[in-house]
Structure 1
Amino acid sequence: MSEAPRIGMLTPHVGLCPADGVEVFNQYLQHALGNLEIFVDSLPDGHRHIDELDRVGLELPYQALHAARVLARRHREEPFQLIICNGVHGWPPSLTRLGVPLVQVYHLTMAGLARNALPIRGDRLTTGRVTGFFDRLAGVGKHVVAVSHRVLREVESFYGLRGRVIPNGIDTSSFRPMGLARARDKLGLPHDATIGIFVGRPDHTKGYDTFLRVARRMPQVLFLVAGGYGPAQGNVRPLGRIPHSDMPWWYSASDFFFLPSRYEGFGLSTIEALSCGVPVVVSEAAFPFSGNRSQCGIVVDGDREQDFVQAIHQVVGDGDSFSPREFAVPRFSIKVFEDTWRGFVNSVLGAGGYSLPATPEENS
């Protein structure tokens, strides 16, 4: 058929600082597939966080219903040929006969998040068991995609589902080294300082408590927090909301990237830093990638701040011995991401006689 297939996507509300990994994924996938219509939960902002539902692990499943109803209504009016779902928001289509192939993308698992990162026993129970039930249901009867081998192992072991891995990608032409001195001039940062950058939500899951303890033990280092608000505290400087397009400058102005996270499904900010040529000091959880880690910096096993302090000293002292961009570009470029996703989607659509329109590169 010559007509381009219509593809719908069901996804949670995003917009975290500086950019949520799911939000970036959606943007790149829309560019790769073209005719992609995205449906997010439609709750008004004042009602988005419902405390009663959140306490029992039902906030995300409830929000998914709203977006799913809008998608289903649109599907009846003008049918899609494929529907892609992100995370827990994929559970309603698993119980609905939509008559088209369904793809479920796991950026993490709720069971894995609960087991590895949540500090309160009640939160672990509600997230791991209640939200996790809907998270597993989201993959039933679908083509399952995980963004890393770690997530796929969790999907298989916790949920009993089978799938494939398609790693996320980044725009490596935008996320490139800008030059340390040039970036610091542009951002007004001191040239003579040792600077580390933390990117993400300043919470327990991201290991922000560990981050602060390490920062206190290294008063000679300036630590930037992209995505965190609040007043500067000693040598920690929150930057607030940073546009995603500006992040290459902040990475390039830093001597190292620091993320002592307790759980990551993929670790988008880690790859962005590597693509900008910045060596990393990260936890084992923040590096779910295969390949030669020694190119990238130091991956620390455990959460002892002394181990992170020693790793930072080593990375700063041996910065020229790493080749982080050479690790990132061949594995995680946007071209690799788009080619892999287009091939996968065409294999799914082929049973119905559809295929994506060829790109100029595919026609040449």
Structure 2
Amino acid sequence: MRRRESMKVAILSFYDFGEFGGGTEIFIKHLQKVFPDSDHIKYSDTSSFKKLPKLHKINLEEVRMGFAIGLKFHQMHRERDYDLLISNGIAGWYLSILRPDIPAINVSHFTYKGLADHALRGTPGYYPSKYFIPTFEKINFYGKVNVAVSEKTQRELKKYYHCDAKVIHNGVSLERFKPYDKKLSREILGIDWEGPLGIFVGRAEHAKGFDVIESISKLMPSIKVLCVTSSPVRNKDLIVIENLPHNMMPFCYSASDFFIFPSRYESASYSALEAMACDLPVVVSRTGIFEDIPEEHVGKIITSFKPEDYCNAIKEILRGEKYPTRQYVSEHFSFERFSENYKDLARMLIKE
């Protein structure tokens, strides 16, 4: 067994946060803090392999990208002699064929079949996600210890692929994400609104329930929804902030009275955890972590996508009942817990 002061870890994914600021990219930033001696290998690092045939016309581009990332890892492993590989989804599928001589962890942030069933019906991405990409998703499980980011994802891995996975919850920093003064936060963000304010964070698309958000804004003109998104949104009924730096998010949550997220499919939403860390009650759909969290701890969990049901839940939230959301995150989703869980797993695998 190699003995080093710190573990050399290779982290594989399609993008970094500067390229695509989603939940997986936030996860990777957290993982880099857990493993300071790590290299993040992403598709933009694979320039020498980009001459491979493109597959975007048949919605299999991520399969091609995973192949290139696997070749890049193989090249870098000869130079860096890593102790551990952590793959995020099918970014590491080809390494189940190459089989490097070090322990490997696969982190499943969702399943393609689950995404297809719940959010992609009627879209061009449905058939590839339901029937083609899962072949590579299943290949990706071999030769790795499989981790799911939530119990929901764990259940889907078992249901669709008969794959056993260990759950390690995502974590957020309660030092960074904490409540600030509401009035000051609105001033910092330039929000000229004194009434009730909800916050939606995510892409403005059907899968995230943005159609429900737009309906709520028309049904409840006495409130406003702050929409923090990377999507171009033109809706005079919403307060829209596009492409906001992530370090400004605590002020967005603190400026708001509740978090609203009628997403049709999630596994472990970082924006929900960040909002709760800032002590916001939530009005959310029953997906992801909210399939397993008791409603009385966090706010209102809705089992439909009817705008009227969300409006009624918002009215109940605005009556002022307190929910221990920050305490719940502290007990179940802290960064410290996340860090120790991944360190413990890494130590165990390297020791073996």
Q: State TM-score, norm by structure 1.
A: 0.90
What SS class does the counterpart of residue 226 from structure 1 fall into?
strand
Q: Give the partner amino acid of 1:332.
A: F
Q: How does 1:9-88 map to 2 (within 5 A)?
A: 9-15=11-17, 19-42=21-44, 53-88=55-90
**Within 1, Cα distance between the matches of 2:122 and 2:293?**
34
Q: What SS is found at the alignment partner of 1:108? A: coil
Say which is worse superposed, 132-141 or 166-175, in terms of deviation: 132-141
Q: Quote the residue 2:295 is aligned against.
A: 293
Shift of 1:151: 0.3
Relative to structure 1, is the Cα distance of residues 294 and 27 closer, same or farther in structure 2, using a 3 angstrom cutoff?
Answer: same
1:321 and 1:51, CA in 2 relative to 1: closer, same or farther beyond 3 A?
Answer: farther
The SS at the match of 1:83 is strand
2 CA distance for matches of 1:203 and 1:16? 21
Distance 1:41 1:165, change over 3 A: same
Cα separation, 2, equivalents of 1:18 and 1:275: 23
SS of residue in 2 equivalent to 1:205 = helix
Cα deviation for residue 322 of structure 1 reads 1.6
TM superposition shift of 1:78: 2.7
Looking at structure 1, the residues matched to 148 and 231 of structure 2 have their Cα atoms a distance apart, in angstroms, of 31
Tell me whether 1:348 sits opposite 2:327 in the alignment: no
Question: Contact (CA 8 Å) 2:10, 2:39: kept in 1 or not?
Answer: yes
Match of 2:256 among 254, 257, 261: 254
1:3: Cα distance to partner?
Answer: 4.2
How far apart are the structure 1 equivalents of 2:20 and 2:334? 20
| Structure 1 partner of 2:314 | 312
- Indicate if the aligned counterparts of 1:148 and 1:289 stay in contact, CA closer than 8 A: no
Deviates more, 1:259-268 or 1:30-39: 30-39
2:130 maps to which of 128, 150, 171: 128
After superposition, the C-alpha distances for 1:161-186 in whole angstroms (9 at most, x for unaligned) are 11100001111111000121221222
Shift in CA distance, 17/251, structure 1 to aligned 2, threshold 3 Å: farther
The answer to whether the 8 Å contact 2:13/2:88 transfers is: yes
Residue pair 2:46, 2:72 contacting (<8 A) in 1 also: no
Report the Cα distance in structure 2 between the residues aligned to 1:4 and 1:124, rounded to whole angstroms: 43
Q: How many residues align?
A: 348
Q: CA–CA distance in 1 between the matches of 2:348 and 2:289? A: 30
> 1:288, CA displacement in angstroms?
3.5
User: More displaced, 123-132 or 12-21?
Assistant: 12-21
In the aligned structure 2, how far is the partner of 1:192 from the partner of 1:146? 41
Q: Deviations over 1:20-48 (max 9, x none)?
A: 11111111111112211110002799xx9
Using the alignment, how far apart are the partners of 2:317 and 2:336 within structure 1?
Answer: 30
**Distance in 2 separating the partners of 1:293 and 1:14:** 33
State the percentage of identical aligned residues. 28
Q: Which residue identity does 1:326 align to in structure 2?
A: Q
Give how far 1:307 is off: 0.4
* Distance in 2, Cα, partners of 1:76 & 1:63: 20
Q: Is contact 1:90–1:139 with CA below 8 Å preserved after alignment?
A: no
Do the aligned partners of residues 16 and 215 (structure 1) sit closer, same or farther apart at CA in structure 2, a change above 3 Å counting? farther
Q: Partners in 1 of 2:44 and 2:277 — Cα distance?
A: 35
| Paired residue secondary structure (2:221) | coil
| Distance in 1 separating the partners of 2:197 and 2:54 | 42
Helix, strand or coil at the partner of 1:197: strand
Q: 2:237 and 2:223 mapped to 1: Cα distance?
A: 7
Match of 1:240 in 2: 242
- The aligned residue for residue 179 of structure 1 is 181
Match of 1:225 in 2: 227
- Residue of structure 1 in register with 2:157 after alignment: 155
Q: Is the 8 A contact 2:46 2:68 kept in 1?
A: no
Give SS of 1:85's match: strand
Q: Secondary structure at the match of 2:126?
A: helix
In the alignment, what sits opposite 1:166?
168
> 2: CA distance between counterparts of 1:158 and 1:276?
35
The letter for the 1-side match of 2:339 is E
Aligned counterpart, 1:360: none
Query: In structure 2, what residue type is equivalent to 1:293?
Result: E
Secondary structure at the aligned position of 1:28 is classed as: helix
Higher RCO structure, 1 or 2 (CA under 8 Å, sep 6+): 1
Q: Does 1:263 align with 2:265?
A: yes
**2:55 partner SS:** helix
- 8 Å CA contact 2:85, 2:104 repeated in 1: yes
Structure 2 Cα separation of the partners of residues 51 and 312 of structure 1:
49
TM-score w.r.t. the length of structure 2 is 0.93
Structure 1 residue 123 displacement after superposition: 2.5
Aligned to 1:325: 326
C-alpha distance 36-18 of structure 1, shift in aligned 2 (>3 A): closer
Counterpart AA for 2:335: I
Q: Which residue of 2 aligns with 1:192?
A: 194
- Work out the CA distance in 2 between the residues paired with 1:17 and 1:324: 31
Show structure 1 runs of 5+ residues with no match.
352-364
| 8 Å CA contact 1:18, 1:244 repeated in 2 | no
Note the C-alpha offset of 1:190: 3.4
| Contact persistence 1:18–1:226 (CA under 8 A) | no
